[in-house]
Amino acid sequence: MIDGVVYFSTFAHRTYALAAATGRLLWTWPDGEYSPVVSDGRRIYLTGRGRI
């Protein structure tokens, strides 16, 4: 979690960002099946093969 936002990827080839307090969807990205979201506490990184 970074600044109250939870990030996760799914096997449906999507990465999501949700507001931790409400669960409200903030954004999605069309990549992520085997590309986990990694955080250093200030930034998020999508690993694997993909384009932003």
> In the chain, what percentage of residues exceed pLDDT 70?
77
Q: Which two tokens stand for residue 50?
A: 């993909």
For residues 8 and 27, which has the higher predicted lDDT (pLDDT)? 27
DSSP state of 2: B
**Residue 52 — very low, low, confident or very high, per pLDDT cuts 50/70/90?**
low
Structural domain boundaries of the chain? 5-46
CB of 33 within 8 A of CB of 50? no
- How many angstroms separate the CA atoms of 30 and 51, rounded? 10
Q: What SS3 class is residue 37?
A: strand
Look at residue 34 in the predicted model and tell me its pLDDT: 65
